[in-house]
Amino acid sequence: MPSYEVYRQGVDLGHVGLASTIGVVLTTVIFAISLVITRIGDRMRVSTAERSMNYVVLLLFAAFALAPFVVIVTGALQPDAEAPGGLANLREAWRIGHFGSYLRNSAMVSLFVVSVSTVLSILAGYALGAMRFRGATPVFYLMLLGIRMPAEAIVIPLFYDLRALHLTDTFWALAMPQVAQSVAFGTF
């Protein structure tokens, strides 16, 4: 499997950019070939050969992207000295890793963040777009600042604030910062 070998060599040698470089080179070559094959007239016409070539290229890129996942899944399902193989391996990993509780927690946080930020974004967007009120301009600029502020810049002060409020290791400490960042983006 050549695509797996490219990934393996790139990761083993510490050259993670190797796979990206090969992808960019392949994309450029395919684009050049596509320009040569395409006939430019009043309208762009796509020949059967070009369409077939496009599908071949898409299939190659899909195989390149999916190869690591296929290797991981086949490796997880194969038996070895310690595990019986098959789906029993996955069930055991699910149980030992507590993935059920992690999935439940992620679903709860996602549902809460999406629903609350959607409602607040719709209300804020309507207020800023359709209503004229005193202080609309500062609120508008505050929302723009919220979009421009990267999460990495505020994560440490946010931790100290949540710790002062005794909210660390809680649902609210996970969900509310995400809501705050989503509302500014969702408003626009």
Domain locations in the chain as residue ranges: 2-96, 99-187
The kind and range of the H/E element at 169 are none
DSSP bridge partners of 45: 39
pLDDT in tens, 68-106: 989 888 888 888 777 777 788 888 888 999 999 999 999
DSSP 66-96: HHHHHHHHHHHHS--SS---THHHHHHHHHH
Helix axes 2-12, 17-37, angle to 10 degrees: 140
The Cα 136–Cα 127 span in angstroms is 9
Mean pLDDT of the chain: 82
Output the pLDDT for position 37: 65
pTM metric for this prediction:
0.60
The Cα 11–Cα 16 span in angstroms is 5
- What does the longest C-alpha to C-alpha distance in the chain come to? 72
Return the structure tokens found at 21.
């470089």
Q: Contact at 8 Å (CB) between 146 and 138?
A: no
Query: Does the pLDDT at position 112 exceed 90?
Result: yes
The Cα 5–Cα 146 span in angstroms is 43
| Residue carrying structure tokens 């508008």 | 140
| Residue carrying structure tokens 């309208």 | 43
Q: In this structure, which amino acid lies at residue 172?
A: W
Confidence of residue 7 (pLDDT cuts 50, 70, 90): very low
pLDDT in tens, 19-73: 666 666 677 777 777 766 665 544 567 788 888 998 999 999 999 999 998 988 8
| Residue carrying structure tokens 């990934």 | 7
Q: Which residue has the higher pLDDT, 115 or 14?
A: 115
